Chain A
Amino acid sequence: MPQKYKPIDDSPVIEEFESTPVPERAQKGAKAFWGMYAGEHAAGTEFMIGPLFLLAGVSLQNIFWGLLLGNFLAVLSWRFICAPIATKARLTLYCHLEKIAGKKLVKIYNLANGVLFCFLAGAMITVSATAVGIPFNLEMPAFDAIYPNSASFIMIVVAVGVVISAVAGFGYNAVSRFANIAAPWMVLVFLGCGIVALKQLGVDSWAGLEAIWTESISFAQGGEVKTSMGFLEVVLFAWFCNAAMHVGMSDLSVFRYAKKASSGWATAGGMYVGHYMAWIAAALMLAAQIKLTQSADPVPGPMAFNVVGIAGIICVVVAGWTTANPTIYRAGLAFQAMLPGTSRLSMTLLAGGIATTAAIFPAFAFKLLGFVGLYGTILAPMGAVIFADWYLSKRIGVTPFHAEAIGCGVNKSVLFAWLIPVTISLYFIFAQGVTTWYFVFPAWFACGVLFLVFSRLRGMPQSSVKKGESV
């Protein structure tokens, strides 16, 4: 029977098909996915990511072409890696992974997910707080700030965090509905921000825009023009910033409702609206702010206020709020899965507390480019296990859905295939200071190969394994 989810507010009971394949009657055409992706990827973090490209000294050409290609690769990943499996298996990521990796290992993966969700939600709360602080003339933290710059900033972040956490705990469905309403409006406000910023820059040609862009980088970098991101880095960032969702297979949960795998093309709506138009618009907003106010701090609230006024403030608050909310909600669910017996409300509030604490430190928001790569490096490799299990396991004599077949809690082949490449990647990221998004694909690929190798090496006749035993 499909699992039924009863929200705690008065919304109707809805079928989620958490542990069973989505039946034909609940499947949807591609049209449903275009709007969903276009709306959902115009989020609070877009206000942060776009300006960070300027501060990283990325050339205008590399932004336009790099994002074009990187987003296309992301769309291809959704279309040809995630959607085909989703439309055949029709299971959520967790349900699918549980059959391969075992219940206990999925809980550990879920916990990693939950913790990373909290930090992402923290960045979104910071984004919202920068807008809420404007009417109070709050001095915003500078770009290189690690710690909060004033007690007022902490108070506003805590106030925003408490409201968001409480709403996530008590009225998630109302926020989801509000997010649906806000989505088309937000997309147009993002577009408007870009158009107005372009006008404020006072350019009428590509050459003029390039010149003022270079001047902005020079101003932001104190007179120098040096870049920490070339074309390849921009492509990799755009491709893998949602790695956990496409190659990481998190969107199995979404595309299990699609009638055909071709619905995967609908992700182009999200990529080219949210991760192309919105990023470029936000980057232009910072360039305009540098020109008009000589401030290179990429603080979303004031930037949006400069170009489109109070509507911009509302947009920053709403964008941060509507995306932080489900993130905290999902983190709460992840924690609850780890600690059976606890209530969802208490775990959601715990997740909200962690997110709010993280939000107090602006470094989490200002280092978002690196954090997003880290997020993909840790979570996406599990998608390779699903990919390898689905397409290759039978060919090399490994039982698909191995954990389900023998009833084990932790499939050690999956555990070590995940831990080894992730640990090596984390060593290079933290000890050697290598950029995070170089590691997403190598870790993903290595995880898939190691899973097959370990499964083959550890392959034993099923009869020799007792049901319930770890393998």
Chain B
Amino acid sequence: MKNICKWIGLLSIAVIFILPLAFYIEQITLEAMKEGLLISTLVWFGTSVFWIGSKAPKDLAGDPIL
């Protein structure tokens, strides 16, 4: 299960990378790209919770990130 989620998640993140490029070279429309990004985003968050960062953070000190 964890491995399946991992591969689906990685696939979705690859799609998030590819979609804007596909729009740039005019292979898809802006609307299709936006829909694709939304779906890939949902897939990423839906699957990555099963395999990323199950441990607590190591460090709570430091400054805010800019």
Residues of A within 8 A of B (CB): 5, 7, 11-12, 14, 16, 18, 40-41, 43, 45, 49, 92-94, 113, 117, 120-121, 172-173, 176-177, 180-182, 184-185, 188-189, 191-193, 195-196, 198-199, 241-242, 244-245, 248, 250-251, 253-254, 257, 308-311, 314, 323, 326-327, 329-330, 333, 372, 379
Interface membership of chain B positions 10-25, coded 1 if the CB is closer than 8 angstroms to chain A and 0 otherwise: 0001001101110110
**A177 CB contact (under 8 Å) in B30, B44, B53:** B53
Contacts of A184 in B (CB 8 A): 13
Taken residue by residue from 32 to 66, chain B's Cβ proximity to chain A (1 for < 8 Å, 0 otherwise) reads as 01110110110011001100111111111111111
Contact of A253 among B44, B45, B55, B59 (CB under 8 A): B59
Q: Residues of A contacting B48 with CB < 8 Å?
A: 181, 185
Given the complex of chains A and B, what is the CA–CA distance between A92 and B13 in angstroms? 35
**CB–CB A250/B62 < 8 A:** yes
Q: Are B62 and A199 in contact (CB under 8 A)?
A: no
**The one of B40, B44, B58 that contacts A257, using a Cβ cutoff of 8 Å:** B58
Q: What bracket does the count of chain B residues touching chain A fall in?
A: 35 or more
Pick the residue among B21, B30, B49, B66 that contacts A181 (CB under 8 A): B49
Are the CB atoms of A309 and B58 closer together than 8 Å? no
A309 touches B60 (CB 8 A): no
A195/B65 in contact, CB under 8 A:
no
Q: How distant is B34 from chain A, measured CB to nearest CB, in Å?
A: 3
Residues of B within 8 A of A330 (CB): 60-64
A327-B23 Cα distance, complex, nearest whole Å: 36
CA of A121 to CA of B63 in the docked complex: distance in angstroms? 11
A196 touches which of B24, B56, B57, B66 (Cβ 8 Å):
B24
Contact A176 B65 (CB under 8 A): no
- Where chain A touches its partner, the secondary structure class is helix
Q: How many angstroms between the C-alpha atoms of A5 and B37 in the bound complex?
A: 38
CB < 8 Å neighbour of B20 from A181, A185, A195, A327 = A195
From residue B2, how far is it (CB to closest CB) to chain A in Å? 14
In contact, B56 and A173 (Cβ under 8 angstroms): yes
Q: How many A-B residue pairs have CB under 8 A?
A: 135
Chain A nearest CB, measured from B14 CB (Å):
9
| Residues on B with beta carbons closer than 8 Å to the beta carbon of A7 | 56
Report the minimal beta-carbon distance from B55 to chain A, rounded to whole angstroms: 8
| CB <8 Å contact, B38 and A311 | yes
Residue contact A45 to B62, C-beta cutoff 8 Å? no
Q: Enumerate the 5 nearest inter-chain pairs by beta-carbon distance, A residue then B residue, closest first.
A: A309-B34, A192-B20, A180-B53, A327-B64, A11-B56
Whether the Cβ atoms of B37 and A311 lie closer than 8 Å is yes
With A180-B52, A181-B52: A372-B66 Cβ-Cβ less than 8 Å: yes
Shortest Cβ distance from residue A308 to the other chain B in the assembled complex, whole angstroms: 5
CA distance A49 to B53 in the complex (A): 29
Contacts of A181 in B (CB 8 A): 44-45, 48-49, 52-53
Expressed in whole angstroms, the Cα–Cα distance for A173 and B58 within the complex equals 10
Distance from B29 Cβ to chain A, minimum over Cβ atoms (Å): 11
CA distance A62 to B59 in the complex (A): 36
Q: What is the CB-to-nearest-CB distance from A3 to chain B, in angstroms, rounded to a whole number?
A: 11
Chain B minimum-CB-distance residue to A184: B13
Q: Quick check: A185 and B41 within 8 Å, CB to CB?
A: yes
B61 touches A93 (CB 8 A): yes
Q: Which residue of A lies closest to B54 (CB)?
A: A177
Given A16-B59, A173-B57, A192-B19, does the pair A43, B65 have CB atoms closer than 8 Å?
A: yes
User: In this complex, what residue of B is CB-closest to A49?
Assistant: B66
Chain A residues contacting B35 (CB-CB under 8 Å) are 309
B56 touching A43, Cβ below 8 Å: no
Once the chains bind, are A254 and B24 in contact (CB under 8 Å)? no
